Chains A and B, each alone.
Chain A
Amino acid sequence: MDLSTLVQHIINGISLGSLYALIAIGYTMVYGILLLINFAHGDIFMMAGYFMIFSVINFGLPFFIAIPLVLILTVLLGIILERTAYRPLRNAPRMSIMISAIGASYFLENLATYLFTGVPKRYPEITWLTKIVTFGDVSFQVVTIITPIVTMILLFGLMTLVNKTKVGMAMRAASKDYEAARLMGIKINWIIGITFVIGSFLAAIGSILWGSKYPSVYPLVGMMPGLKCFIAAVFGGIGNIPGAVLGGLTLGLGEALLVAFIPSMTGYRDAFAFILLIIILIVKPNGLLGEKVTDKV
């Protein structure tokens, strides 16, 4: 393999990895506070794709209106989901909440199949994102380079929000001890709402970048990215935002390099993430950057 091919693969891997990272942050934030896998996160990502298709192709809106509209709609969906599927079960046993999350995910998938049929739809092309740039032997779409930059900007924004602002402080308090935070006068429901808003917002941005790269949307499109991003979040240490980014990058690079170095293993590409998950859970159950938790009896 010559150098330019390797560089190409690495760039693709980093780009895919930052996409995973974006979505993984949504998982990690919800998990940090609610201690719950938001199974429906991948489906929010999928719905964002449909919102874009409908506003651009069916209603003919220009992108500068369509993109904010998609962001708003996705955030709304996230809030509705939290209200209907998670809030009523706040004090229920863990298993019920997880089943509710699975039910919500299943519902969104079936709803999408019903409303938009299972046939893949083409994602609208954002021309300046899909333009192809060539440097010597290496060529890639603009979106490939934009994705890591967007992820980095959002990561820093989010870190400031969490570490420097009052809302961030409330979030950190809630993720440390839910009940104590409530007793200290933090409005838990509000903080959880904010978390879902941020998560859905990131999922919507991720969906726009994803759609420019893989321009096809179907009801199950969010499933695999959703699961892989959860794995990325676990890999970096769930509840930890830089950890999610680290996990996303590792996963993206790993997948790209697996395909690059061992082409015969391409069929096992999706299994790679799961094997990584099982290994990390066995070796270091709290993830690479996760905090050390002692068992309370």
Chain B
Amino acid sequence: MEKKLSNKIKNICTIILVILSIFILFLFDREIIGDAYLRRILNLSAIYAIISVSMNLVNGFTGLFSLGQAGFVAIGAFSVAVFTVPEKYIQSIFYIKPMAPWLVEMRLPFVVALLIGGLIAGILAFLIGYPILRLKSDYLAIATLGFSEIIRIVLTNMQTITNGALGINRIPPMRSMFIPFGIAVICIGMMVLLINSSYGRAFKAIREDNIAAESMGINLALHKNLSFAISAFFSAIAGGLYAALLTTVDPKQFYFTFTYNFLLIIVFGGIGSVTGSVIASFVVTYGLEWLRIFDEPLIIGGVTIPFFRAGLRMVIFSLLLMIIVLFFRKGLMGNKEFSWDGIYNFLLRIKISIKQKRYDKMRVYVRKPLKNKGGDK
């Protein structure tokens, strides 16, 4: 039986959780706990969380199999790179072909560059969405993938703007961990609000049944487009953060295999669950770092185990993706979301099962002598 907590307790729990996480983040930010490496992983996880939630918005909630995320991330990353690189470095970075003069004068603050990247990606997605989103599953996947590759190829060939294949480095880094985490909370919060609004319900209706949704008066093209464009917007914002985190971008980073990482994250977290995507972003990003032990030679008792060398990590990573798809199709959360009621019921169930086990033990203890008695006769 499902039990519900009162609103008061839920609110208290939420406030405690928020204060606790801000406090932990503060400790990390002031370098009281953790090291630079851990901080970098955490930042990366927060950025990945934005991308995976926005990919989940299209793939999980609207039911469109899109593989174009890498392209939109690339737009955001390059927008931040192009607009925020300090003027004094521009000449040394663009040494093959100089940057277009009108761009050199356009130095923008980080947040503005971030928003411009988001808007470019969103508008582009909205425009391309009209023809592309009429397609069905496989065709849609390959068309979005193709579109993301086109973006990458265009970025590679626009030498005077993006510096071509060389990429741009010396992007000013982010100073505080509160920037990526804060933006992630805002972005994910906005997406959650969207999913729970009437638009979100329309998205879910489209996912469940295209034709039924249309006959209920939902404008299919508009809603699919909206979902696609909003997803592109947030992905590009995450891309901008990504550029500022790495301080260097080049088009090769955004090869379409980049999208596969987020595919793994949303499959692992559960297609159709925001909470799942967020948790999975942290688990997968940290897990990938943890798997690095497989890349280093392992020596047990003076004997070098021959399998452990560079590359094994990614083999295991892709094997995990296969195992999850083949055997745990629902992922971590299925399409459930985080709620205090859920946690409460989960704890309750554990408590009951512990009680049950104790009770079972006692019953076994009581019964055994009885059985033996019967056997004696």
Which residues of A approach B to under 8 Å, CB–CB? Answer: 31, 35-37, 84-85, 88-89, 92, 94-96, 98-100, 102-104, 106-107, 109-111, 113-115, 117, 227, 230-231, 234, 267-268, 270-271, 273-275, 277-278, 281-282, 285, 297
Contacts and interface: CB of A to CB of B under 8 A. Distances in A.
B59 to A, nearest CB: 8
Contacts of A92: 329
Nearest to A110: B314
B311 A278 contact: no
A103 B259 CA distance: 12
A110 B318 contact: yes
Contacts of B149: 227, 270-271, 274
B362 interface: no
B153 A270 contact: yes
A218 to B, nearest CB: 13
Given A89-B326, A110-B318, A275-B150, A102 B263 contact: yes
A255 to B, nearest CB: 13
Contact of A267 (B157, B211, B318): B157
A93 to B, nearest CB: 8
Nearest to B260: A106
A268 B146 contact: no
B322 interface: yes
Given A110-B315, A114-B311, A281 B154 contact: no
Interface residues of B, number: 41
Interface string B251-290: 0000001001001000100010000000000000000000
Interface string B273-310: 00000000000000000000000000000000000011
A278 B263 contact: no
A117 B311 contact: yes
Interface string B121-155: 00000000001101101110111011101100110
Interface of A is mostly: helix
Nearest to A106: B318
Nearest 10 CB-CB pairings of A with B: A114-B311, A274-B146, A110-B314, A107-B318, A267-B157, A271-B153, A103-B321, A106-B318, A103-B322, A282-B131
A95 B266 CA distance: 12
Contacts of B247: none
Given A98-B138, A106-B318, A274-B147, 14 more contacts: A37-B141, A88-B326, A95-B137, A98-B65, A102-B263, A103-B325, A110-B315, A110-B318, A113-B311, A114-B312, A227-B142, A231-B146, A278-B143, A282-B132
Given A117-B311, A234-B142, A274-B146, A110 B326 contact: no
Nearest to B131: A282
B169 interface: no
A103 to B, nearest CB: 4
Given A36-B138, A275-B150, A107 B322 contact: yes
B338 to A, nearest CB: 23
B139 A95 contact: no
B311 A94 contact: no
B319 interface: yes
Interface of B: 59, 65, 131-132, 134-135, 137-139, 141-143, 145-147, 149-150, 153-154, 156-157, 211, 257, 260, 263, 267, 271, 309-312, 314-315, 317-319, 321-322, 325-326, 329
Contacts of B310: 114
Interface centre among B59, B141, B257, B318 (most CB of A within 10 A): B318
A230 B311 CA distance: 28
A36 B138 CA distance: 7
Contacts of B321: 99, 103, 106-107
Contacts of B309: 114
A139 B145 CA distance: 37
B151 to A, nearest CB: 9
Contacts of A285: 134-135, 139
A99 B319 CA distance: 12
Contacts of B318: 103, 106-107, 109-111
A113 B310 CA distance: 9
